[in-house]
């Protein structure tokens, strides 16, 4: 196949399987060059070869464990270098099953590195160049548990709440400068995250297939949505949530406590 001249380049973390791999396939089909990042070198190379053959796009591969500072730095350097990264897909993440009380602090630290620190630093490394060029996109993969933390024990939901809040805050800062930020909040999706955490996805009801999730997320991306929740059937539910949040915020500027707190 004749190689295409890729007009834009997307860097995808966690690209060797699941959501990241489907993003790679979809973005390659759109003609984007790719930088694929994950720990599984063999899987990355196989995917890269497939996408080069199918779509004639340029594909770079970076093997990196984002919980390792030196390996993370390799990815950060790529985000700061040429050719520029036009789309960052912050997809790499993990789950941690079990109660907060019983969880090993070392495991919590590792999860925070992957789900919180890594996407923050990756976004930080790429956003300056995007602002300077007046264009670019950052896609952060979160979870609906960001809105339902009481449904999940431990810190996983908290890490995804951070991803949502980071996305909203960053969008408020850079949207006017030509940079689009999107937070994608999947519900249960058929990926390896359950197995890797020691769970059993066969016991999870109403699981969405990965292809359907990514295709829906890209519709939201094309529409420049800030928050995309593929399984929610009525957008009015999200709009009502946002309206209520605004009503709540209107009370934050009161200089005196609310009457119910005065005795």
In whole angstroms, what is the distance from residue 44 CA to residue 140 CA?
Answer: 20
The catalytically annotated residue of 23, 151, 156, 194 is: 156
Looking at residue 197, its pLDDT comes to 64
In whole angstroms, what is the distance from residue 184 CA to residue 119 CA?
Answer: 14
E strand or H helix at 13:
strand 9-13
pLDDT per residue as tens digits for the range 48-86: 999 999 999 999 999 999 999 999 999 999 999 999 999
In whole angstroms, what is the distance from residue 13 CA to residue 180 CA?
Answer: 18
In whole angstroms, what is the distance from residue 170 CA to residue 47 CA?
Answer: 31
> What mean pLDDT comes out for the span 235-256?
95
pLDDT per residue as tens digits for the range 7-30: 799 999 999 999 999 999 999 999
The whole-model pTM stands at 0.93
**What's the pLDDT band for 1 if we cut at 50, 70, 90?**
very low
- The CATH topology of domain 9-261 is Rossmann fold (3.40.50)
Reduce the secondary structure of 84-142 to three states and give it as a string. CCCEEEECCCCCCCCCCCCCCHHHHHHHHHHHHHHHHHHHHHHHHHHHHHCCEEEEEEC
Q: Please state at what angle helix 118-133 crosses helix 156-174, rounded to 10 degrees.
A: 10
Write the DSSP symbol of residue 24. Answer: H
- Quick check: 243 pLDDT over 70? yes
pLDDT per residue as tens digits for the range 128-177: 999 999 999 999 999 999 999 999 999 999 999 999 999 999 999 999 99
**Active site includes 156?**
yes
| Least confident segment among 94-108, 129-143, 185-199, 236-250 | 185-199
pLDDT per residue as tens digits for the range 165-221: 999 999 999 999 999 999 999 998 887 775 776 677 777 788 999 999 999 999 999
Residue 214 contacts by C-beta under 8 Å, 6 or more apart in sequence? 19, 22, 23, 26
Q: Are 38 and 89 in contact (CB under 8 A)?
A: no
- Give the gyration radius of the chain's Cα atoms: 19
pLDDT per residue as tens digits for the range 42-51: 999 999 999 9
In whole angstroms, what is the distance from residue 171 CA to residue 161 CA?
Answer: 15
Looking at residue 191, its pLDDT comes to 77
In whole angstroms, what is the distance from residue 71 CA to residue 97 CA?
Answer: 26
The residue extents of the domains of the chain are: 9-261
- In this structure, is the dihedral angle defined by the CA atoms of residues 228, 230, 236 and 241, taken in order, positive or negative? negative
Closest to 182 (Cα-Cα) out of 230, 132, 114, 240: 230
């Amino acid at each position: 196949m004749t190689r295409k001249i890729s007009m834009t380049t997307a860097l995808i973390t966690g690209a060797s399987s699941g959501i990241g791999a489907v993003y790679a396939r979809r973005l390659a089909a759109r003609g984007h060059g790719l930088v694929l990042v994950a720990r599984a070198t063999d899987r990355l190379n196989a995917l890269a070869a497939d996408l080069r053959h199918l779509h004639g796009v340029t594909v770079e591969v970076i093997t990196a464990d984002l919980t390792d500072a030196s390996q993370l730095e390799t990815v950060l350097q790529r985000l700061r270098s040429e050719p520029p990264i036009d789309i960052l897909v912050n997809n790499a993440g993990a789950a941690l099953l079990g109660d907060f009380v019983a969880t090993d602090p070392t495991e919590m630290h590792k999860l925070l590195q992957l789900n919180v620190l890594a996407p923050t630093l990756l976004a930080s490394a790429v956003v300056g160049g995007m602002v300077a060029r007046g264009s670019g996109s950052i896609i952060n993969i979160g979870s609906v548990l960001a809105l339902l933390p009481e449904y999940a024990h431990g810190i996983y939901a908290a890490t995804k709440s951070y991803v949502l809040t980071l996305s909203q805050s960053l969008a408020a800062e850079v949207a006017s400068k030509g940079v689009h930020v999107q937070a994608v909040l999947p519900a249960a999706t058929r990926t390896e995250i359950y197995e890797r955490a020691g769970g059993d996805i066969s016991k999870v009801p109403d699981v969405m297939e990965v292809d359907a999730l990514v295709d829906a997320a890209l519709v939201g991306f094309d529409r420049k949505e800030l928050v995309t929740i593929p399984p929610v059937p009525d957008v009015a539910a999200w709009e009502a949530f946002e309206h209520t949040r605004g009503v709540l915020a209107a009370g934050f500027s009161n200089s005196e406590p609310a009457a119910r707190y005065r005795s």
